[in-house]
């Protein structure tokens, strides 16, 4: 005489294993996508130039180059060139006492210091409008466009300031230059973590709703054993 599992028990085991395999696969795929997305985002910032503590990390026209304008009495920086959300160039180096002129070239923008130490006023879309500032002290001056903060930002390096590849220039101001950017990779990792937490709950509900089909409630999950005469 021997025993064998009932078909109901086999169905329960297969269903349970299939559910767990699906949940685990989804979580693994999410983590893998998150890691790949994070790696891509990191590679995109490896320009070799200064990052200014992330101030220009989302500035579309910054490639790591700080344009050398030393030796000039005055320079011009475009504001919203070709209706894009950029200052052009986004990063420049000048001598102390150089006059910086921002000239509006398209779009509704303004120019505001990181800590509001200077401001062109309310945003305007007047083509050809200008705003001037002269910086006498050496240092790194960060500025932005208020309607497009986080994306449309710029830097003026005044004087012989040493710039490392990792970043330079002061603490984050009122506008939060060092911000957390939600990339696709981070979002995928978050989804994977949520799946890992809720999968056991969903599986418990799955068993509860189908207990009558999977061997009855109160059963340990092994299913009924049928007696078969040899």
- Same domain flag for 78 and 16: no
Binding site feature residues for Cu cation = 109, 145, 148, 152
In a domain, residue 217? The reply is yes
Nearest to 111 by CA among 135, 146, 82, 140: 146
- Residue at 92 is within a domain: yes
Listed ranges 16-20, 52-56, 80-84, 172-176; the one with the highest mean pLDDT: 52-56
Query: Are 38 and 114 within one domain?
Result: no
The tally of domains found in the chain comes to 2
> What CATH number has the domain bearing residue 108?
2.60.40.420
Residue with tokens 């049928």: 226
Q: Give me the mean pLDDT over the 67-90 stretch.
A: 94
Q: Which domain holds residue 154?
A: 56-158
Q: Does the residue 97 lie in any domain?
A: yes
150 found inside a domain: yes
- Under the banding of pLDDT at 50, 70 and 90, the label for residue 7 is very low
Q: Which residue has the higher pLDDT, 197 or 132?
A: 132
Contact 168, 50 (CB under 8 A): yes
Same domain, yes or no: 84 and 118: yes
pLDDT of residue 51: 85
Instruction: Judge if 73 and 132 occupy the same domain.
Output: yes
Angle at 176 between CA 173 and CA 68, to 5 degrees: 70
Q: Are residues 203 and 147 located together in one domain of the fold?
A: no
Note whether residue 134 is domain-resident.
yes
Q: Of 141, 158, 175, which residue is a domain's last?
A: 158
Tokens 């603490």 — which residue? 171
In a domain, 178, yes or no: no
Interval 125-146: pLDDT, tens: 999 999 999 999 999 999 999 9
pLDDT band at 45 (very low <50, low <70, confident <90, very high): very low
Residue 91: predicted pLDDT: 98
63 and 36 within one domain: no
Integer Cα distance of 170 and 88 in angstroms = 22
One-character DSSP codes across 82-136: GG-S-EESSEEEE-TTPEEEEEE-SSSB--EETTSSSB--S-B--TT-EEEEE--
22: pLDDT confidence band, cut at 50, 70 and 90? low
Q: Cα–Cα distance between 145 and 153 in angstroms, integer?
A: 6
Rg (C-alpha) for the chain, rounded Å, is 30
| Residue that is last in its domain, among 118, 143, 158 | 158
- Residues annotated within the binding site are 109, 145, 148, 152
């Amino acid at each position: 005489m021997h025993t064998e599992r009932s078909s109901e028990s086999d169905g329960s085991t297969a269903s349970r294993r299939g559910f767990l395999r699906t949940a685990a696969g989804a979580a693994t795929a999410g983590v893998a996508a998150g890691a790949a997305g994070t790696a891509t985002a990191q590679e995109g910032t490896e320009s070799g130039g200064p990052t200014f503590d992330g101030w220009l990390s989302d500035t579309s026209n910054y490639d790591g180059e700080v344009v050398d304008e030393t030796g000039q009495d005055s320079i011009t920086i475009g504001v919203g060139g070709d209706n894009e959300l950029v200052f052009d160039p986004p990063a420049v180096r000048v001598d102390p006492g150089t006059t910086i002129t921002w000239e509006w070239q398209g779009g509704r923008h303004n120019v505001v210091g990181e800590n509001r130490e200077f401001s062109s006023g309310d945003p305007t879309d007047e083509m050809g409008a200008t705003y001037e500032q002269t910086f006498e002290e050496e240092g790194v001056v960060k500025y932005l466009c208020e309607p497009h903060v986080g994306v449309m930002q710029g830097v003026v390096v005044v004087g012989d300031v040493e710039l490392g590849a990792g970043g330079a220039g002061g603490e984050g101001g009122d506008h939060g230059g060092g911000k957390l950017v939600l990339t696709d990779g981070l979002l995928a990792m978050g989804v994977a973590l949520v799946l890992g937490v809720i999968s056991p709950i969903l599986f418990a509900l799955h068993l509860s709703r189908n207990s009558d089909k999977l061997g009855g409630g109160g059963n340990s999950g092994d299913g009924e054993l049928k007696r078969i005469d040899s």
